[in-house]
Amino acid sequence: MAESLQITQLGNPALRQQAQFVDNIQDKRLQQLIDALIATAVASNGVGIAAPQVSQSFRLFIVASRPNLRYPNAPQMEPTAMINPQIIAHSTEIVKGWEGCLSVPGIRGLVPRYQTIEVEYTSRNSKVHRQVFTDFVARIFQHEYDHLDGIVFLDRVE
């Protein structure tokens, strides 16, 4: 298991960067970053983590949904690296839900998110995926996707 990395906290400008498109997924250093991100999410008990949260300005995040106190029927997922992700379509329906952030410890907020999203991303084996996510997994995706544009959940709390 790769070692986990230090998480960038709110206030560090690295968290507010516009992350860059990944153009060589098979690059050894990128694959090592993916392993380190997974290790960091697992070590932090997270359900997701984005590269800017370890000060790496790449359009890459991990989604690792699992049942938890606030979302007991969340699906149990293998931690999945999503590279150059895009939101292709979304529901008109918007749902408010509790969120936290590994970069904003100790604060929870009620955040509006699309209930359903259609996404496209490339996985670590360079395969392009197009999927529909709903509920908690859709929430995690939108939370992590925001990190790629320097947005944190507090910016969306109403």
Provide the annotated active-site residues: 144
Binding-site residue total for Zn ion (CB under 5 A)? 1
- In the bound state with Zn ion, the residue whose beta carbon lies nearer, of 41 and 101, is 101
Binding flag, residue 150, ligand K2U (CB under 6 A):
no
From the list Zn ion, ligand K2U, none, which binds 70 (C-beta under 5 to 8 Å, kind-based)? ligand K2U
- Cα torsion 88, 76, 84, 147: sign: positive
Q: Residue 48, interface with ligand K2U (CB under 6 A)?
A: yes
CA separation for the pair 78, 15 (Å, rounded): 26
Window contacting Zn ion (CB under 5 A); options: 5-13, 80-88, 101-109, 134-142: 101-109
CB 129 within 8 A of CB 123: yes
The torsion angles phi and psi of 111, rounded to 5 degrees, stand at: -120, 130
- Cα–Cα dist 9/107, whole Å: 12
With binding defined as CB under 6 A, does residue 49 bind ligand K2U? yes
Binding site for ligand K2U (CB under 6 A): 46-50, 68, 70, 99-103, 139-140, 143-144
